[in-house]
Structure 1
C-alpha cells in the first residue's frame, strides 16, 4: 500500500507575496517532502503545472404521456497551459529506477507560470477556473500516485485607464397615475465615485431625490454579481446573486432636493471580475433604486469591476 510506505507527503511553496497569490510570469520555488518507512524503488517523480477552465450544467424537461423527463447536459473546457517537468530522473544503472532509503526526503523545484492574459482563479455555481500543480510518483509494478495543490492565480488589470476612476452618474424619473389622476414627478439621480473597487472596500452611493408624488419613496442600494457560463456552441447559463444590500431613510411625500448617501460594503471574499475567458464571466453592478409602494421601482444601474492591487513580491524573480 502506498500510504503505508509514503508518509507526510507535502508540496511547499515559497510565498511570493503576503496574499500568497501568483500571476502571469511568476517564478515559483519550493520543495516536495515525504517520509519513507522502508527502502523503495522510484521510477520517476514528475511535476505538471496546468491552467484550465471548465463549465457544466444540465437541464431537464417533461414530455409524453408518461411524463418522461429527459436531462440535457452542457459543458465546455479550455486549457491555458500544460507544462511538465521531472523532479527525480530514472537511474539507468538500477534498471530505470532510483532506490531511496527509509527516512525523510526533500526535493526542490522551480517552475514558471507562462506569460499571458489568463483569467483569475474562480469556483462558481456551474464552473471553475483553476491552476493546479500535480506531483506524480511512479514506482515499478505500481500505479502512479498523484498529489495536487491549487494555486491562487490573480490576473492584474491595467489600472492606468482614466475611465476606471471617473465618477459614474445616472438619472431616472417616473410619474404615478391612478385612474385619471397623475401625481407629481419622482426624480432620482445616483452617483458612484468610481468604477473600479477592491474586495473589502466600501462603495459610497450619493442619491439626490425629489418626490412630488403622494407616496413614500425609500432608497435602496444592492451589489449584484452575475456569473455567466457558455459552451462553445453558444448555449449559456446565467446565475444572478445579490451579495449585499443597504436601505436608506424613507423620503416623505412632496419632498424636494433630498440628498442622502448610502454606504454598501463589498465582501472581502468577493471574487474578482472575470472578463477574459470565453466560457466563464463574472460581472458586478451597483443597483440604486427608489422603492415605491404598489409601483415599479425607479432604478439606476452602474457596472463596476472588482480588481486586485498588485502586491510586493517577497522574493526576487530569478
Structure 2
C-alpha cells in the first residue's frame, strides 16, 4: 500500500548547532529542508509549505444569571505576524538532481510526479518580516508561536501533514538612555490595627538602571524607617505579570520569580540596605509590543507590618536580551550617557565632603625651595629682554608656590600708647 512506502516525513531547519534548535528575529532568513524517505516508487501530486505566526489568547469565565441559572462566557482573540506559502513540488514538474537520490520524474499525462525509492530532500527558504515581530511565548491563557507546516498530497491517500515550530526572540538592547536611567521612589503609610495607630512606616529605594538581562544581579539601595511600636520585616521581590486581552476584557497572571529577605527592623529604628543583591533568574524577556499579550516585570520593595496591610514600593524593570555594554550602546549618544552617569553620581554624593589634601603632600620641600629660588628678582640690566620670554614660563614659575603662612597674631600690631591723630591739627 502507499502508506507503507512513506518511511519518513520530516522538517529539518538549518542550524549551526545540531543539538540546539535555531533562534530567529525579524528580518532573518529561515531555511531548511523537507525530507521524504520512500521504501518504494510513489506518486505525488504536490508538496506545499506554509509558514505561520500567531499570538492567540483564550479563556473561559462562568457568570451567574440568577439564583439558579448560569452561563459560560468565552474570550478569545488573535494577531497574525507571519503568513507565507510556498510550493516545493508540483505535479508534472521535471527537476534536475540536486542532492543524492533527489530527482523527479513526470508522468505521461503530466498530472503526477513519480518519485523512486530512497531519500529525497526539498530545500526551502523564506525571510521573516522586517517589521518588529514578537518574542515566542507560552502562557496560561495565551501563546505566541511560529511554525512551518508541510502538506503532502498523493493520489488515493489522505493528505499527510507535519508541523514544526521555531523560536523567535526580538532583541531588547538595555544600552539605551531610557533603560539606563536610575529608578527611585519613596512610600509611607500609617500602620493601624483595630482603629489604633501604631505609627508610620516609610521605605525609600533606588536601583541603578531599569534594564537588566537574566542572570544579572540587581543591587538594591533602600532605607526603612520604622516609627511604629512593632518590629517589621523588609523584603524585595521580582514579579512577572502576564496580561491577556480579548474583547475589551483583561486577564492577568502574577508570579514571583525572585526574592530577597532582609533583617528585622526593630520598633522606632532605621535600617539601610547598601546594595543588597537580588539575582534575576532565567526568565523570558519583556513583551511590550503585542496588542493582546504583555509580559512585564517589577521590583517590589516591601515591608511586612504585623496586624496591618503590607507596604510596597514598586520600581519598573525591563528584562532584555542584549546585556550591558561597558561603553554604552552604539545607538545612544555620548551626551545622553554622560547625563545619565551624572544623575546617578548626584544621587550618591556623600553628606560630608572629603577635606582637600595638605600642600606638603602634593609638593615636596625640594620642589618648594626650587620654585622659591626661581622667582628671585633679576638685576635691572636683565629686564630689557623680559618681553621676549614666553608667557607660559611665568605661569610655570607661580604654579607650585606655597600659600602664604597664616597666623592668628598680627605681624604689624598697633602701639598701645599711640594717640589718635587730630584731624584739626
Give the TM-score normalised by structure 2: 0.67
1:44 maps to 46
Unmatched 5+ stretches in structure 1: 311-318
Q: Is the contact made by 1:221 and 1:262 (CA closer than 8 Å) also made in structure 2?
A: no
Instruction: Say whether 1:57 aligns with 2:59.
Output: yes
Q: Is the contact made by 1:220 and 1:248 (CA closer than 8 Å) also made in structure 2?
A: yes
Q: Is the contact made by 1:25 and 1:112 (CA closer than 8 Å) also made in structure 2?
A: yes
Shift of 1:189: 1.0
Q: Secondary structure at the match of 2:178?
A: helix
Shift of 1:157: 3.2
For 2:2 and 2:245, how far apart are their aligned partners in 1? 40
Shift of 1:74: 0.9
> Which protein has the bigger helix share?
2
1:20 maps to 22
Q: Secondary structure at the match of 2:134?
A: coil
1:265 maps to 279
Of the three residues 255, 261, 283, the one matched with 1:241 is 255
2:138 maps to 123
2:244 maps to 229
Shift of 1:84: 0.7
Instruction: Say whether 1:284 aligns with 2:286.
Output: no
Q: Is the contact made by 2:174 and 2:322 (CA closer than 8 Å) also made in structure 1?
A: no
Shift of 1:174: 2.8
Q: Secondary structure at the match of 2:308?
A: coil
Q: Is the contact made by 2:193 and 2:308 (CA closer than 8 Å) also made in structure 1?
A: no
Of the three residues 139, 153, 156, the one matched with 1:141 is 156
Aligned length: 307
1:90 maps to 91
Shift of 1:89: 2.6
2:336 maps to none
Shift of 1:11: 1.5
1:172 maps to 187
Of the three residues 254, 266, 277, the one matched with 1:252 is 266
Q: Is the contact made by 1:245 and 1:264 (CA closer than 8 Å) also made in structure 2?
A: yes
CA offsets per residue over residues 37-90 of structure 1, 9 Å max, x none? 22111111111111111111111123445x233111111121122101122232
User: Are residues 160 and 200 of structure 1, via their aligned partners in 2, closer, same or farther at CA, if it must alter by over 3 Å?
Assistant: closer
For 2:174 and 2:274, how far apart are their aligned partners in 1? 30
Shift of 1:256: 2.7
Structural RMSD (CA): 2.4
User: Are residues 85 and 245 of structure 1, via their aligned partners in 2, closer, same or farther at CA, if it must alter by over 3 Å?
Assistant: same
Shift of 1:244: 2.6
For 2:21 and 2:43, how far apart are their aligned partners in 1? 38
Q: Is the contact made by 1:247 and 1:262 (CA closer than 8 Å) also made in structure 2?
A: no
Shift of 1:149: 0.9
Shift of 1:10: 2.4
Q: Secondary structure at the match of 1:152?
A: strand
Shift of 1:210: 2.3
Instruction: Say whether 1:307 aligns with 2:309.
Output: no
For 1:152 and 1:205, how far apart are their aligned partners in 2? 33
User: Are residues 204 and 62 of structure 1, via their aligned partners in 2, closer, same or farther at CA, if it must alter by over 3 Å?
Assistant: same
Q: Is the contact made by 2:45 and 2:90 (CA closer than 8 Å) also made in structure 1?
A: yes
Deviates more, 1:9-18 or 1:33-42: 9-18
For 2:42 and 2:312, how far apart are their aligned partners in 1? 68
For 2:319 and 2:16, how far apart are their aligned partners in 1? 22
Q: Secondary structure at the match of 1:294?
A: coil
Q: Is the contact made by 1:49 and 1:134 (CA closer than 8 Å) also made in structure 2?
A: yes
Q: Is the contact made by 2:174 and 2:212 (CA closer than 8 Å) also made in structure 1?
A: no
1:70 maps to 71
Higher relative contact order (CA 8 A, sep 6+): 1
Q: Secondary structure at the match of 1:4?
A: helix
Q: Is the contact made by 2:223 and 2:270 (CA closer than 8 Å) also made in structure 1?
A: no
For 1:226 and 1:59, how far apart are their aligned partners in 2? 20
Give the TM-score normalised by structure 1: 0.88
Q: Is the contact made by 1:28 and 1:110 (CA closer than 8 Å) also made in structure 2?
A: yes
> Which protein has the bigger strand share?
1
